[in-house]
């Protein structure tokens, strides 16, 4: 959607990269955790990294392994740049993170569309069964969305319904990013 326009002038920071490692738990225990609850994320580390980038210093962004349900030992070097997009379902939930964002965008997608995307992604990329995806959706994903994600929409500067299908909304975001790049700020 936007990443093709960023190239060397922008970076995407993924909230999922900041899942806690839960290294003290077995794989079976990690599979039972609620990864849709805010407590699953190391928001303090993310805030620290965003501050570093805004101060002109590179960071080592963690890499999350969805198959092993833990952080990989690898990190990705992210260099400071004019545009940093922080992407993730709970980005607007955490106050200290919200304070660091110049523009807060909420991509509003219908429940059924989110479920379809999850099924496609988790079966093809994460090796999960349809049953496990549907159980997780009913037990944690939908309730956490209703409790934390949906209500965080009120903190957005812009709400874009229908995600990438909303060509006008995406065009507005692209123009905003282009204006930042053109101004050199």
Which pLDDT does position 93 carry in this prediction?
A: 97
Q: Kindly give the parts of the chain with pLDDT less than 70.
A: 1-8, 185
Phi, psi for residue 71 in degrees, rounded to 5 = -70, 145
Supply the DSSP string of 77-127, one letter for each residue: EE---SEEEEE-TTTTT-HHHHTT-SS-EEEE--HHHHHHHHHHHHHHTS-
Q: Are 118 and 133 in contact (CB under 8 A)?
A: yes
Q: Are 179 and 8 in contact (CB under 8 A)?
A: no
| Domain span holding position 103 | 3-183
Q: Which residues contact 171 (CB under 8 A, 6 or more apart)?
A: none
Q: What is the CATH number of the domain that holds 54?
A: 3.40.50.300
Number of independent structural domains in the chain: 1
Count of CA atoms in the C-beta half-sphere (13 A) of 71: 22
Instruction: Tokens 């209703």: give the residue.
Output: 146
pTM for the whole structure: 0.86
Which pLDDT does position 127 carry in this prediction?
A: 84
Which pLDDT does position 184 carry in this prediction?
A: 72
For the segment 23-44, what is each residue's pLDDT rounded down to a tens digit? 999 999 998 899 999 999 999 9
């Amino acid at each position: 959607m936007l990443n093709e326009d960023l190239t060397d002038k922008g970076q995407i920071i993924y909230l999922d990269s900041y899942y806690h490692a839960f290294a003290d738990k077995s794989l079976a225990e990690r599979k039972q955790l609620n990864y849709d609850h805010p407590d699953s994320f190391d928001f303090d580390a993310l805030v620290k990294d965003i501050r570093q980038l805004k101060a002109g210093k590179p960071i080592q962004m963690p890499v999350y392994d969805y198959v092993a349900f833990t952080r990989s030992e690898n990190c990705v070097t992210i260099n400071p740049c004019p545009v940093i997009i922080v992407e993730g379902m709970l980005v607007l939930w955490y106050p200290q993170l919200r304070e660091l964002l110049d523009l807060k965008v909420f991509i509003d997608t219908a429940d059924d569309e989110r479920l379809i995307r999850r099924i496609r992604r988790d079966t093809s990329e994460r090796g999960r069964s349809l049953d496990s995806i549907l159980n997780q959706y009913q037990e944690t994903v939908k309730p956490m969305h209703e409790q934390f994600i949906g209500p965080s929409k009120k903190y957005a500067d812009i709400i874009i319904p229908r995600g990438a299908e909303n060509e006008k909304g995406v065009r507005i975001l692209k123009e905003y990013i282009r204006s930042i790049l053109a101004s050199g700020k």
